[in-house]
Amino acid sequence: MIHLETPKKFRPLVDQAHQVAREIFRANSRKYDRAEHAYPKELDMLASVMDGMDEAGARGGAGASGVRRDAQVSEGNKNGSNLSTCLGIMELCWGDVGLLLAMPRQGLGNSAIASVANEEQLQRFAGRWAAMAITEPGCGSDSANIRTTAVLDGDHYVLNGEKIYVTSGDRADLVVVWATLDRAKGRAAIKSFVVEKGTPGFELVRLEHKLGIRASDTAAFVLKDCRVPRENLLGDPEVNVEKGFAGVMQTFDNTRPLVASMAVGLTRACLEHTAKVLKDAGITVDYDRPALTQNSAAATLLALEADYEAARLLTLQAAWMADNRKPNSLQASMAKAKAGRTCVDVALKCVEICGALGYSEQALLEKWARDAKILDIFEGTQQIQLLIVARRLLGKTSAELK
């Protein structure tokens, strides 16, 4: 059974992550929001420290862990790397979401590799920064409609297509590219391939200018007859129509709780800042009195905090299930949907409550409101998450419920 408090063994890591968020992330948050596409050099030393902690077997809270279904299930309650990673991300995103996404060797592609790579691939790609390329110009939320192709030619797959909105795509060493082996066989033929930067035919087209998370680079690529070694395919190379999309979608069982954790951390930052602004104005939230007997702003903050707590608990549940090798696709989508929507709602409402103090650049709240929106979009939009939840609850296939 999941316990709701932070596990004792993770508390030092959570404290360390909070210190990093306060002393490094927040201290440089505005700087890199204004200097879009400038690489945050302050993160290099931090990344080296975290690499050392990973090698010592003690994650600093932002490592890219994976959901591996082939591992042995241990008896009892296990609190492992998925839960510790989510707890650390919550703290770090209390500091700055964009800077977390800019952390070297902590990309979403690393989670994909950790989730489905074989042992040889895990060793070969260890210590390298991996981005993940799924979205295409004609394929946004519907990942099953991917048009990038992969054709086996001897010892290589030849990839052709276009990928957009690749987080850390410019800075990463590797990019995990989703492509189809045979479009006629539908989603079952979609596989993920590790493409190394510098591979001929893999071309960076542009870097996007964005509303938020401006410290993180977002790239667009074109693949033209890009030859990738066949041993760089992640997972089973066979197309199993009965298994369908499960192989590559397993990645999302891990990454969606991570994005939910980002939203939870940012939500908490907004709430704490707003509570301080209200306190300075002489308005204190009384948790022992009914909301309807309190100041309107205090009552609103109570409702927002309730949504925050629900999002946090759903996220912890999804991570805990992954650690205990329990199927968590439903819970991962529920956590992502709730946390993403809550983050946007809370950030905008906090700007409204704080008035001029929330809208100006005197504080980080206006930046957090801009950062919040992406957390409701990437790794599957709000609408897609609700569709997945509906399918799981109703027992419907993707063909039956679109």
Q: Catalytic site residues? A: 379
Nearest residue to 29 (alpha-carbon basis) of 263, 85, 20: 20
φ/ψ of 160, rounded to 5, equals -140, 135
Q: Which two tokens stand for residue 120?
A: 């040889």
Q: Tell me the sheet residues that pair with 234.
A: 192
Count CA atoms within 13 Å of residue 236 on its CB side. Answer: 13
**337, two tokens:** 């949907």
Q: Interhelix angle for 329-354 vs 382-394, to 10°?
A: 140
Among candidate residues 190, 3, 26, the one with its CA nearest the CA of residue 99 = 26
Alpha carbons 101 and 266: distance in angstroms, whole number: 13
Q: What distance, in Å, lies between the first and last C-alpha atoms of the chain?
A: 34
In sequence order, what are the beta bridge partners of 227?
158
Q: Which residues contact 69 (CB under 8 A, 6 or more apart)?
A: 250, 325
Q: Which amino acid is at 274?
A: T
Helices (H), 118-245: 119-124
Q: Which of 48, 95, 227 is nearest to 150 (CA)?
A: 227
Specify the 3-state DSSP secondary structure of 254.
helix
Please tell me the distance from the alpha carbon of residue 244 to that of residue 307, in angstroms, as a whole number: 35
Q: What distance in Å separates the CA atoms of residue 211 and residue 103, rounded to the nearest whole number?
A: 20
